[in-house]
Amino acid sequence: MDVIGRLAPSPTGLLHVGNARSLLGAWLAARASGGKILLRIEDLLPDFAGHEEALLQDLLWLGLDWDPTPPGLGTVEPQLLSSDAGLSQWAPKQNSWQRQSLRQDVYLRIFKHLQRSGLVYPCICTRKDVEQAARAPHRDDQAVAYPGLCRGRFSHVSEALAQEAALAAAQGRAPLGVAWRLNITALRPEFAVLPNSWLDDAVAGPQWLAPDAAGDFVLGRKDGGFAYMFAVVVDDIAAGVNQVVRGDDLLQATEQQARVYQALRQVAWQVSEDDQDTAFWQRVRRSLLPVYGHLPLVHGDDGRRLAKRNQSIQIRAIRQQGVRSDRLMLWLTASLGLPALPDAAAAVAHWDWSTIASTPVVFGGKELAAVMPTDGHAPARA
C-alpha cells in the first residue's frame, strides 16, 4: 500500500520551531517511503483562521512541498503569496491543498448519519457542570472525563434546545445551543480499529491508551461547527491518509479518533449505495487506523514545551532576523537523530524511525543563537 501522509497545521497562530520539526518528520516519513504528502489547513475555528498565508510561506521557506489534493476535498488551488514572503528560487512549487472550513457541508451530511443511528446525543452541559461532576465523592482522581450527564436525558434535540433556552433566560444570558457527544456505550466492538487499546506507535513503540479517558467526547460544537476529533477522521478517510506523524501531545487523542473510526464503520453498513457520499462510505467500510508516529516535543530552556505565543521561536520571526533556512534545517534534521543536513530533500535518504530520541529535545537561547547570521550581512539564501 502506498503511503499517504499529511501536513496539517492549524492557523490559530504562527508556526514555531517545534511545529516545524513535527511537520518535517511527517514530510520525511512520507517521502522516504516514496509516498505522497498532502497539505490540510485545519481552520475549524472561525475566529482563529488568519495565518494561512504565513503557514504556506513558512512551509515553502523550509523546503517542504506537498502533493496535489484531490478535487472535492475542500481543495484550494495554488495562489500568489504576498511580495514580502521572503521566499526565493529555492522554494518548492506549490500544489493545491485542503481547507477544512470549505468542508462544513460534508461534515454535516456525514454527521447526520451518526445522529440517525443514535450514536450521538445532544448535550447542554457547561464546563462547570462537568468539573462539578468530576469532584463528586468516590470518583477517581483522574483527568476530567465527561460522565454522561446528558446521555439519555433528552428524547429529542428540541427538548434539549428548550431546556438550554430556559436556563439561559433564568441566568440572564444568550442561549449557547447544544453540543453533540459520541455515545461510547453504543459502539459495537466488532467495528473497533484499536483492539484492546494498544497502539503500535512507530516512534514510541507499543502504547496502551486509556480507553474512554475522555468519556463521551464532543463531535459537534455548540456553535454549530464540528470538533477536530470528528473532522480530522472524516478527512483522513476521504483523502486515504494512512500515515500520521505528529507531536506526542496528541498521543492520547489517538484513542478518541479510533472511536470515531469505530462509529463511522458501524454506520457505514447502513448507508445506501445511492448516498451522495457513497465513495466516502465505501472507504469507511475498508478503513483501518493509520500508522501513527508521535514525536517527543521541543522544549525551551525553561523545560516547558514551545507554544505559539513564544514569538522569539516563531519561524516567521526567525526568518525576519535574517536566518537562512539551511541553518535552521541543520538543527531540525539533527534533532530527529539524522545527520545535520542543510535541506529537507537531502535528509530523505537518511530517514530512520529508530534514530528519533524518546525524550524531548531543547531549542533555547543557545540553539537560537547558533542559527543566527554571524556576519551582519543579508543572507544569500532567504
**What is the C-alpha to C-alpha distance for residues 126 and 196, in angstroms, rounded to an integer?**
31
pLDDT over threshold 80, residue 312:
no
pLDDT of residue 84: 44
- Equal CATH topology for 4-95+296-371 and 102-294: yes
pLDDT of residue 53: 86
Q: Which residues of 121-130 are buried (b: 16+ CB within 10 A; e: fewer)?
A: bbbbbeeeeb
pLDDT above 90 coverage of the chain, percent: 75
pLDDT over threshold 80, residue 65:
yes
**What is the C-alpha to C-alpha distance for residues 59 and 54, in angstroms, rounded to an integer?**
9
Long-range contacts of the stretch 44-52 (C-beta < 8 A, 24+): 44/100, 44/101, 44/225, 44/226, 44/227, 44/228, 44/231, 45/12, 45/225, 46/101, 46/225, 48/10, 48/11, 48/12, 48/13, 49/11, 49/101, 50/11, 51/11, 51/12, 51/13, 51/14, 52/11, 52/99
Per-residue pLDDT averaged across 14-24, rounded? 95
Give residue-wise pLDDT tens across range 320-343: 899 999 999 999 999 999 999 999
Q: What is the pTM of this model?
A: 0.91
Give residue-wise pLDDT tens across range 226-240: 999 999 999 999 999
pLDDT of residue 377: 46
Per the prediction, the chain carries an average pLDDT of 89
Per-residue pLDDT averaged across 216-226, rounded? 95
Residue 269's pLDDT band (cuts 50, 70, 90): very high
Give residue-wise pLDDT tens across range 73-118: 999 988 766 544 455 444 566 789 999 999 999 999 999 999 999 9
Confirm if 358 and 337 have CB atoms less than 8 A apart: no
pLDDT over threshold 60, residue 134:
no
Residue 141's pLDDT band (cuts 50, 70, 90): very low
**What is the C-alpha to C-alpha distance for residues 33 and 318, in angstroms, rounded to an integer?**
31
Domain residue limits, the chain: 4-95+296-371, 102-294
* Encoded amino acid at 144, one letter: V
Close Cβ partners of 338 (under 8 Å, ≥ 6 residues apart): 347, 350, 351, 352, 355
Out of 3.30.70.270, 3.40.50.920, 1.10.530.10, 3.40.50.620, select the CATH number for domain 102-294: 3.40.50.620
Residue 212's pLDDT band (cuts 50, 70, 90): confident
pLDDT over threshold 90, residue 307:
no
CATH superfamily assigned to domain 4-95+296-371:
HUPs (3.40.50.620)
Give residue-wise pLDDT tens across range 159-200: 999 999 999 999 999 999 999 999 999 999 999 999 888 999
